[in-house]
Chains A and B, each alone.
Chain A
Amino acid sequence: MEILERYLQAVRKFLPGNRQDDIIAELRANLEAQIEDEERECGRALSKAELEELLKKMGSPVFVAMHYQPQRYVIGPKFFPMYWYVLRLAMMWSLLVFAIVNAVQIGAGQMGQHVATAIAQALFQAPFTLLTVAAWITLAFAGIEYVAEHYPNVWKSNVWLGGNWSVDSLPALEKHIAPGGVRRSYAKAVAEVVFGFIFLAWLLLVPKYPIVMFGPGVIAINALPYTLAQSWWTFYWIIIVINSMQLAWNCIDLLRDSWQRVNPLQHIVAKSLSVVAFAVMLATSNRVYVVLKNPVADLAKYGDTLDGINRGVHLGLSLLVAIAALQLAWEIVKSVRDRQNA
């Protein structure tokens, strides 16, 4: 029966210390009774292979010992939904704060290094920041689980998990999503905010560091005798305002937990402002979009080309405004129809 002793010895190693002797004694008694029973049935001693088969049927030592351990969770099913909710929120907000802080630092040139290096460094640091936040949240919830498990009278988990909720505290009914309307995923809503901040930071960097838009092509642009007219600044700042507004809306949607649907009004307002930006550009530019860097010296040589460029840009912009205005009108009509059908 050496094989039985070896089996019991292996099981013992995985059992809780204070109950090892008792459990092993009971397990031995049961196994011996089973072996005797089977030997009685077949009228002879069990062979080594039969004994091995019997123990194999019982299960591996770890498996058997595992069943004697109380069920333990780092974060159990009672707290897991809340943990998952808090973790998602914490990850989103920490990513947001991280993106803003780094965008501001890079924009203000406080990193003391090249912009591309600073951005790369920030991107490299982001996963570690998120991991740290996730670790702290997990640790906090593991603590809550432990206290709730061991001191149920101290920690009233039913109160914490909304045991005292009232019907009045339920959020308002979400507006109906039109048939075929798209429900945004949470990941998409968060990604829109994060990339919105990155895009805004990038846009703010463009005037000071044109390389972030044109790359190495900036050398060729600098070599040209032309430059953009002053009227582009108005256009630029309107675009900054539109992006900031959209970003603020997306942040508010996330805060109010109303990120599931794209608000058609927000979309129309943003699109209208874009049309306005192009229209303002057309109205205030006097059809001058590109000027000569050195008009006194270059007018004779590049004057005709300059006129051609300005005429082309004006025509292009006029077409763009017309198409965008038509699209906007169509979207307004569609939105009104959807509202009536809802």
Chain B
Amino acid sequence: MTLSENLFENLRLELRRGCLTLAVLKQLRQEHYGYTLRKSLAAHGLEIDESTLYPLLRRLETQGLLVSEWREEEKRNKRFYRLAADGEQILGKLLDEWKSLNDSIERIQ
């Protein structure tokens, strides 16, 4: 990887980090467990590694933005996540911020 490719990759990851959190929170307005969440994000064009997504879910839960519960589905115990009440509030604010940033960037010629 050249220096410029490396720089691009670092900047891309930095840009994606916050966006992925936003996408995960938004997607979890509907309940999912790790694997189906990953699939539904991928279906919307957002590929995310398992090793990034699963720990991210844990972190967001620790921060009180998500709630989870173990439940049996198709004879298997799975951990289902959904957006918490606090998470809904913060998601609303984050989406406003995202739209405002996006509009500003669009307006810059």
Q: Which A residues have a C-beta under 8 Å from some C-beta of B?
A: 23, 25-27, 29-30, 32-34, 37, 58-59, 63-64, 67-68
Contact = CB atoms under 8 A, between A and B. Distances in A.
A100 to B, nearest CB: 44
Nearest to B77: A29
A26 B55 contact: no
B33 A29 contact: yes
Contacts of A25: 77, 79
Contact of A37 (B34, B35, B52, B58): B35
A29 B78 contact: yes
Contacts of B55: 67-68
Given A29-B77, A29-B79, A33-B76, A63 B51 contact: yes
B37 to A, nearest CB: 9
B19 to A, nearest CB: 18
A59 B55 CA distance: 13
Contacts of B33: 29-30, 33
- Smallest CB-CB A-B distances: 9 pairs: A67-B55, A30-B34, A33-B35, A30-B35, A59-B51, A29-B78, A68-B55, A26-B79, A64-B51
B50 interface: yes
19 contacts: A25-B77, A25-B79, A29-B34, A29-B35, A29-B77, A30-B34, A30-B54, A32-B76, A33-B36, A33-B76, A34-B50, A58-B50, A58-B51, A59-B49, A59-B50, A64-B51, A67-B54, A67-B55, A68-B58
Measured as residues with beta carbon below 8 angstroms from the partner, the interface class of chain B is 10 to 19
Contacts of A59: 49-51
A37 B39 CA distance: 11
Interface in B53-91: 54-55, 58, 76-79
A27 B34 CA distance: 9
A142 B76 CA distance: 45
Interface in B1-60: 33-36, 39, 49-52, 54-55, 58
A197 to B, nearest CB: 41
Contacts of A63: 51
Taking each of A30, A37, A58, A59, which has the highest tally of chain B beta carbons within 10 Å of its own beta carbon? A30
